Chain A
Amino acid sequence: MKILVCISKTPDTTAKIAFTDNNTKFSEAGVQFIINPYDEWYALVRALELKESLGATVHLVTVGGADTEPVIRKALALGGDEAFRINADSQDSYYIASQIAAHARQQGYDLVFTGKETIDYNGSAIGGMVAELLELPFVSIAAKFELNGTTATINREIEGGEEIVQVELPVVVSCQKGMAEARIPNMRGIMAARTKPLTVVEPVAVEPLTSIVSFELPPAKAGVKMISPDNVEELVKLLHEEAKVI
């Protein structure tokens, strides 16, 4: 079995969000980059568990410049077997998905895992697009994935509940919490990652369909109104009369 895990690079969850160039670019100054948490904790680790229990090969793919290599190496250190970096700026969801689909078409995978969404762009789009481009079934926002032969049983979140679905491989799945427990790379993994293959692939020609014109920061809060713990009636009154939310 061959599994592809889509890995994206995102700013650390505590990074300060600021913009430069007239609010058209994210300011990377002083920002630490990590593997997008959904990709690492859930998609990658579940793929590694399947590898350990069923003997799969786990490939990683990222669309990005050379600056994404530390993140890809970390994913290799966690246990990925082989990585592919598609050498292009990630322009928009359609562009990225087209690159991943082109790679997947060439390699042929039984299973493609993505994260639920990137924590910077918050697209929730790549997985579904890759599935459509590959004409494969897609199960979104999965919290559990079990495999029995070539039949996958997947729990997927819906409004106010959960749906359990069955699908035959190959399939594309976007992963969230519940899929697996986060791991940390060990020394042996880190050493091994240095010599694992990381192939740089040139992108296919695709036109992006959207572009970011500008960024904005939310308006600052007016400041918190403090209320005495002995006067909760005041809070109820404010919520009712001033904020009008109860």
Chain B
Amino acid sequence: MSVLIFADQFQGKIKKAAFEAVQYGAKVAQQAGTTATAIVLGEADNAELAALGNYGAQKVLQVADARLNEIDSSVGAKVIVAAAEAENAQVIILSHNFDGRAIAPRVAARLQAGLVTGAISLPDTANGFTVKKTVFSGKAFANVNITSARKVITVMPNTFPLEKTDATATVEAFQAPVSDADFKVKATSVETVSGEIPLTEAETIVSGGRGLKGPENWGLVEDLAKALGAATACSRPVADSGWRPHHEHVGQTGLTVRPNLYIAIGISGAIQHLAGVNGSKVIVVINKDPEAPFFKAADYGIVGDAFEVVPRLTEAVKKLQ
């Protein structure tokens, strides 16, 4: 028996969310008195692979096949299932990131393994195998018992802080049972928003709403974000009006983010917006209306005009550093 973790890479770099999944998987393995093996699909350099050991993987399986650099969920699932069989893995862990959400359900259905997506706790094995996940878009949690022998879990990103150790992993090549005919989904282009931090991985986010009046005022948000090393986000009407790109929209119908710090500027705090950000550890709200609902969900608040407060805040942040 063992625990198998899918460690997701992008252009040769292991994603932060993948380290989090490995660390989670290593803890599950420890609980069960077994070992944790990570699997990496596609080409990645050796230092990256060995670094998985820093987060608890004893062994890393690598499928250094260029065809796997981009993910086709069906091929990804096939390889992971083959590795699970080879390693006799009872528990399979992935990140609840984009690739994890594409592959995990396939792995689960293929193995007839119960699946919990977006786990925010380690399994409680006192009475079954119960994992806590967010439901109702962050407004509640459910404790879900996996009743099948095999189990698949996706781990909510930015939930388990990384604890790096000096341990290293042994890296082995894994022969994937795939042929060209298995590749049905072909990536024709990959566009990255260059230089920016992916919102779902960001530890600090500065977000703007309709209170900023127009796209010409976004320098305010960007300057503060830059001073903090933060990513930028926005409310839905802001993206819908084309003031900001769609991929910055957070909330019920946009991205769910869980940063350490979320600073909301000129956002009223509608329940659909909160649904995407209520997992943030600390929320700061800057709004000129003392009655704005967002203050109820905030840890720190400033009632004031964003156009006056935010530049001052940016200066104060710069001074700290």
Q: Which residues of A contact B (CB under 8 A)?
A: 11, 13-14, 17, 19, 37-38, 41, 92-94, 97, 119-129, 131-133, 137-141, 143, 153, 156-168, 171, 176-178, 208-218, 221-222, 224-229, 232-233, 235-236, 238-240, 243, 245-246
Contacts and interface: CB of A to CB of B under 8 A. Distances in A.
B275 A13 contact: yes
Given A164-B189, A211-B144, 20 more contacts: A11-B136, A14-B271, A19-B140, A94-B108, A97-B105, A123-B117, A125-B104, A125-B108, A129-B106, A131-B105, A138-B102, A164-B187, A209-B146, A215-B135, A226-B295, A232-B312, A233-B319, A236-B313, A240-B320, A246-B261
25 contacts: A17-B140, A94-B108, A119-B137, A125-B108, A129-B106, A132-B109, A139-B102, A141-B101, A159-B17, A159-B198, A162-B190, A164-B187, A209-B112, A210-B116, A210-B146, A212-B144, A213-B144, A216-B140, A217-B140, A224-B298, A225-B299, A228-B302, A229-B308, A232-B313, A235-B284
B168 interface: no
B186 A166 contact: yes
A159 B98 contact: yes
A38 B308 CA distance: 38
B117 A160 contact: no
A10 B125 CA distance: 31
Contacts of B295: 224, 226
B282 A245 contact: yes
A209 B115 contact: yes
Interface residues of B, number: 100
A159 B10 contact: yes
Nearest to B227: A246
B106 A132 contact: yes
Given A141-B98, A213-B130, A221 B297 contact: yes
Given A177-B249, A245-B204, A246-B228, A132 B185 contact: no
Interface of B: 10, 15, 17, 70, 72-74, 77, 96-99, 101-106, 108-110, 112-118, 128, 130, 132-148, 184-193, 196-201, 204, 228, 246-247, 249, 252-254, 260-261, 271-272, 275, 278, 281-282, 284-285, 295-305, 308-309, 312-313, 316-317, 319-320
Given A159-B97, A161-B192, A167-B185, A131 B73 contact: yes
A157 B191 contact: no
